[in-house]
A and B are shown apart, each in its own frame.
Chain A
């Protein structure tokens, strides 16, 4: 079948195509619900959900294969703002947002919400400082901008280095997430699940590059947002909080705060269980004092500046038809992201209420231990050591500090906790898979593109033919993917830690070289190189120093509460200082470069890098 992927008729048909697709997905969901009524097993439903969605992504990926450079790297620069917004939202919301965030709020309460603020507010920086100007520049990749703006192969190489460090850290976390979900649904070992997840990811991006990834990401966004919202609406209806709980769950928060004092949340547990935590943090109460407030704000800062420097996000805005569309597209992206993020605390609240409130049939705190142990979800998650119950004071009643769990299971287990039908659990698993896969796609592509376009084409072999370049890109995609899966199967860090690190690496190395590249004409090549290497180096050193206090890195304890999640603050500051000092010590860039910077700030006219097909 030959499909038209660009041009007017295709763009006009997009709403209809995705409308039909969404309808089909809802139909599939209903079909599964009916099958469940007729006694299909829970395992089978889970497998069907994953297999069905994977097949769709692969189908889109294969249909949109391409051999044209412009289509492979920037989807032909023809993606309408709204759809680019959806694709960005899927690209952006990773396994960490979907699976881990609500669980984190559930366990750690208010301080954890810094992630929500940080992961949305960053888009203000993207829109005001970055995206429209990079779009005007007309580059294919982020190092492409660095290399052209500052000139010289070495600057370009530094850009590639930072990009690979940050994206690789991020992608291992995503492959871990896909592996976990695949392993649970298909009942296979985690190590095999990782490779299966990778296979699905590559199927989407290998053949069609950015174009294929764009259209699968839109499809994945639809799956993940449906999968996130349906359980919330369902639970809220059961709890009598109305149909649209996001705007009326205030009383539920108040109720939790009331229950917290009754149940004694905050009493440390009498024993510890390896890898699991008891609920001790208060839901909405700030810890108090200036240090927690400072930590909240610095985490927000890291996540925001990191957002504005992550190459796989920035490169999504290279695909819009115009500068104006790039700006609008950022706004749409944030709207689509907002839909999930403002629901996450709601999910955490409702799910917690299900467990705590003695007036609800699903509550377990205060019930007898024997009764709780016989619940199927307690048993199932307990069997794989993600949940544990210890009767510390031997009174046969479950207290809040006798219940231990891994925060990552909250979103996946909520449908079972709330007693919803299994079809919802299958849907949530498919959503988590979509979230992790879409981000992994974007990241792998960002790396493979940077290596093939910037390292291979621009630095190693500038005369390479189109065919050869695109072939290199695909081979690199395979190699990086395999490396990522290899590292993921070693299980070095948790999902969330790795994600926060990726943000910090990106901001340490790229933020100021990009921003100043647009906004400071005087910024020159030595300055940018110093900024990238100095920032990355300082951030890396600080991370190592904080993680290994006994080693020789020369730091006894974190500075003013800046722990390993916040090392970007140190890196970005170092980057700024290095860049300004070195720039001022060396000669200003030549006339031509300065004129180029002026040109970037004006939306009209041709792109700086002439586009070729």
Chain B
């Protein structure tokens, strides 16, 4: 979970704080700062959430605290 929050912090704040430095980089036509705000960070978030749901469930099962299937 802490790992997820670190990734979240990097893609939410750090990347966008450094927008000036990313601007000259060209990524498939987009300036990289624009791409990260428009799509990059968002894709990271979506993937992260599905992973988190899966991992957390695995942890619950491992420690025997998962809910019983009905």
Contact = CB atoms under 8 A, between A and B. Distances in A.
A288 B20 CA distance: 6
A211 interface: no
A110 interface: yes
Interface string B9-26: 001110011111001001
B41 A254 contact: no
A331 B37 contact: no
Interface size class of A (residues with CB under 8 A): 35 or more
Given A297-B13, A334-B45, A110 B34 contact: yes
A607 B33 CA distance: 45
B34 A604 contact: no
A296 interface: yes
A297 B23 contact: no
Nearest to A602: B65
Contacts of B17: 293-294, 296-297
Nearest to B32: A284
Contacts of B41: 117, 120-121
Interface in B45-65: 45-46, 48-50, 52-53, 56-57, 60, 65
B60 to A, nearest CB: 5
A345 B46 contact: no
A124 B8 contact: yes
Q: Is the interface of B mostly helix, strand, loop or mixed?
A: helix
A33 interface: no
Interface string A102-134: 000000001001101110110111011000100
Interface string A250-286: 1111100100000000000000000000000001111
B31 A331 contact: no
B37 A114 contact: yes
Given A293-B20, A297-B17, A330-B53, A120 B65 contact: no
Nearest to B14: A297
Contacts of B4: 124, 128
A327 interface: yes
Interface in A282-327: 283-286, 288-289, 293-294, 296-297, 300-301, 304, 322-324, 327
A252 B23 CA distance: 16
Contacts of A52: none
Given A124-B5, A301-B13, A284 B34 contact: yes
Given A250-B28, A603-B66, A284 B33 contact: yes
Interface residues of B, number: 42
B16 A121 contact: no
B31 A604 contact: no
A114 B17 CA distance: 11
Contacts of A121: 8, 11-12, 41, 45
A322 B57 CA distance: 12
Nearest to B27: A250
A148 B49 CA distance: 29
A113 B8 contact: no
A98 B69 CA distance: 39
A331 B49 contact: yes
Given A116-B37, A296-B16, A338-B42, A323 B67 contact: yes
Interface of A: 110, 113-114, 116-118, 120-121, 123-125, 127-128, 132, 246, 248-254, 257, 283-286, 288-289, 293-294, 296-297, 300-301, 304, 322-324, 327-328, 330-331, 334-335, 338, 341-342, 345-346, 602-604
Interface of B: 1, 4-5, 8, 11-13, 16-20, 23, 26-31, 33-35, 37-39, 41-43, 45-46, 48-50, 52-53, 56-57, 60, 65-68
11 contacts: A114-B16, A124-B5, A128-B1, A293-B18, A330-B53, A331-B52, A338-B46, A345-B38, A603-B60, A604-B66, A604-B68
Shortest Cβ-Cβ A-B pairs, 10 listed: A250-B29, A331-B49, A113-B37, A284-B34, A286-B19, A345-B38, A327-B53, A250-B30, A251-B29, A124-B8
